[in-house]
Amino acid sequence: MAGASGFLGTRLAERLSQSGHEIVRLVRRPTDRPDEATWDPAQGRLDTDVLAGAGAVINLAGANIGDKRWTDAYKRVLRSSRINTTDTIARTIGQLPEGERPRTLLQASGAGWYGATGEQEVTEEAPAGNTFLADLCRVWEAAARPAEDAGTRVVLLRTAPTIDAGGALLKPLLPLFKLGAGSRIGGGKQWMAWIALEDWLAAAEFLLDREDLAGPVNMVSPQPVRNEDFTRDLARALHRPALLTVPGPVLDVVIGEMAGEAQRSQRVLPGVLSGAGFVWAYPGMADAIAAALRPEAAMTS
> Could you give the domains of the chain?
7-300 (3.40.50.720)
Task: Check if the beta carbon of residue 265 is closer than 8 Å to that of residue 187.
Answer: no
How confident is the model at residue 262, as a pLDDT? 61
How confident is the model at residue 246, as a pLDDT? 58
**Nearest 10 degrees: CA dihedral of 67, 68, 72, 74?**
-40
Q: Which residues contact 263 (CB under 8 A, 6 or more apart)?
A: 185, 186, 190, 248, 251
Task: Check if the beta carbon of residue 219 is closer than 8 Å to that of residue 270.
Answer: yes
Q: Which residues contact 291 (CB under 8 A, 6 or more apart)?
A: 196, 198, 281, 282, 297
Give me the phi and psi of 198, to 5 degrees please: -60, -40
How confident is the model at residue 110, as a pLDDT? 96
- Average pLDDT along the chain: 90
Q: How far apart are CA 260 and CA 1, in angstroms?
A: 32
Task: Check if the beta carbon of residue 223 is closer than 8 Å to that of residue 160.
Answer: no
How confident is the model at residue 143, as a pLDDT? 98
Burial class (CB in 10 A: 0-12, 13-18, 19+), 179: exposed
Question: What is the DSSP track for 108-134?
Answer: EEEGGGG---TT-EE-TTSPP-SSHHH
How confident is the model at residue 261, as a pLDDT? 64
Positions of the chain with pLDDT lower than 70, given as ranges: 245-263, 295-301
Task: Check if the beta carbon of residue 101 is closer than 8 Å to that of residue 152.
Answer: yes
Q: How far apart are CA 132 and CA 261, in angstroms?
A: 9
Show the DSSP H helices in 6-99 as ranges.
7-18, 48-51, 72-95
